[in-house]
Amino acid sequence: QVQLVESGGGVVQPGRSLRLSCAVFGFAFSSYGMHWVRQAPGKGLEWVAVIAYDGSNKNYIDSVKGRFSISRDNSKNTLYLQMNSLRVEDTAVYYCAKVHQLWSGLGAFDIWGQGTMVTVSS
């Protein structure tokens, strides 16, 4: 069964760090670009970061550049998001999502995880 399972969310103080994981099941993880998308409480969807199928290319929304780092371990079928210097405005549900096209970094997101909540508060 194709599935993405996020973990690692929680409550953290401003300026601290958190590492999110997204475990992948049921498809050839190493063949697809992967993304992180977030949704602040009561708000819309905001794209955060992308990583190519082989990890060779990464990109971020401007507001997280220099603070967040996306990575993947294809041998463990796992995607990561390292979040440093967290701010109150980073509070959101974080989703990992799979691109529908083989080998492509950009594409429609056909599989989503259930999300993990990150709350940044003092």
Q: Based on the shown chain and the rule CB under 8 A, indicate whether residue 27 belongs to the binding site for other proteins.
A: no
String of DSSP letters for 19-59: EEEEEEESS-GGGS-EEEEEE-TTS-EEEEEEE-TTSS-EE
- 113 belongs to the binding site for other proteins (CB under 8 A): yes
Instruction: Out of 59, 74, 82, 91, point to the residue binding other proteins (CB under 8 A).
Output: 59
The candidate with the shortest Cα–Cα distance to 101, out of 25, 45, 50, is 50
- State yes or no: residue 2 binds other proteins (CB under 8 A): no
Q: Residue numbers of the site for other proteins (CB under 8 A)?
A: 35, 44-47, 50, 59, 61, 95, 100, 106-110, 112-115
